[in-house]
Structure 1
């Protein structure tokens, strides 16, 4: 067998299969190969000794409509952070989604899928607020856009925060979006999810979660403003536990104002782990401490708070890959999967991260990407690695 790369001697951690062992990874063209006892010829041996070899990281909640919104970053910048796939959390609306697809998604090395904000204009800037009044939804155009980009659009997005939706109508707005998703599914044969921004919601966390269907996304699940998922005694609201049992997905989606250290610590202590860990990256946070900086720094938060490494890796690889409809294709290192791979080196260092109240969380280690491979091509490599 002739291979393009052999990644040798690393600690291979694949949450999809549960593998955690020292072994070689063989890359042929765009895929991970299984030599099956054959002798492998290869001119490019990557020494990963002392490093973790993992599936390329997947950031499930980002804002990457670069130059189409004042809040967004260029997605391929995230490759240096070990991220090989991302989901845009509704930056584009029905009027702007085609531009997002043509100017960003189609032009990027990273794999990108997205949610469609129900407000036609999308999220244009930090100082411009969407209007989620159902009467403003352009249903005919929304149907055309979803039909055309059905392989890329995962579902509909609504922000359910005080100041964004009227306090007395927030629940009605949410119910209408869910009805809308079901109507469109019936017409188009799709399976649209609903993603809800839950920070400082005018309705209780349990009531909000109770409206959601299996597969819908309760994002910013550890936010600390107003109605949180944690009761005064530190336990999780029963309605939240029921929603999880039903199949609602809980995404940490940290962001800057959407993460509370106290809420997260209490939830984890109560055994409530996030299904997904993501960044909610925007231009004001990207690589700028002490808030959300990048996906490895957000992963460090949860390791600091007691989650084990395999569980954290699962939330940024196998779990989001499944929700994206790409289970077994990305988010795994099994033979036949696309060769989206990151090599990480654990570095001991102390750094501070803060939440929306500037409460501090001090981490003592960080998984630093040494090399990132997208579909079998090296798209990032540290200057002192693979010499």
Structure 2
């Protein structure tokens, strides 16, 4: 079976396979990684994804940044976890990592939450490589608006290669994968197992699981609400990631101006372009869910909403700091619902959400804010297994 056939199949359904040790809802990078991790010690694992392809939503629509701590000067714990996870991710997924570009962080003179001196001290404290940018790079920035520019060590990942790798691993493990299938309701059974109601465009069916891992990111609360379970306080943003062709001086470079209402441009390996995002203009709309209910299905809202790019606003403000960026050519936009824990709004932290027995025994809700968070999730699984919680 070639990769195309494997990616279009809905999984090898076996006779009598309606009962599983674990059902993972959501086929993003976290869901795929959990399916592989659980498959190492559980007998029957089912991965369910409502889209026609794995890792096609938030795992694809992002900056493709492999964080090395620089982005989080206001959250030392997040920065340290990124530093620890960076080398591990690069080593494990080396063939999916792109490192053939230079990366620079510039500190704005005004409206920044950190000064250049504070940023350098922060990087030294967490052990992140940092040095002053060469003169020719510094001269690309507006000296009145940018205090200092640093060369750092930060990479990108190719989400298509990463997806293909996960597919190969799932096939090798024999994990059942059902695409175009949505979990619409969870119901407890008297024996402690969970009934998962599935819909796949037809009549739908039900499967039974000893453990359910809910990893749908923007759709965590719609399923919980539909199952009469407590929802989780979350913030949602309709976000635009502009895809651009950058001018020649920026072709092999990534730039982030921080720490405040500024911008970032990074190579996006899957398309051979750069992303352009802006703290002020990337979010188009936002709303909150509380513990008392879910306001809307973010994916349905995105499908029904007229989407108009804000690239011109992004580039107009960004070129004040980096004039050469004014020559960027707009190609396309990637749209997604970004989901954030409200506490992260204060310090830009990116902790994982790991809710054990959330409203139901053996239901685990999982969410991460960046790709390397997967190691924190897998650590939680390891600890849970040690305590006998995955027996």
Do they superpose with TM above 0.5? no
Greater relative CO, 1 or 2 (CA 8 Å, sep 6+): 2
Highest Rg: 1 or 2?
A: 2
TM-score normalised by the chain length of structure 2: 0.28
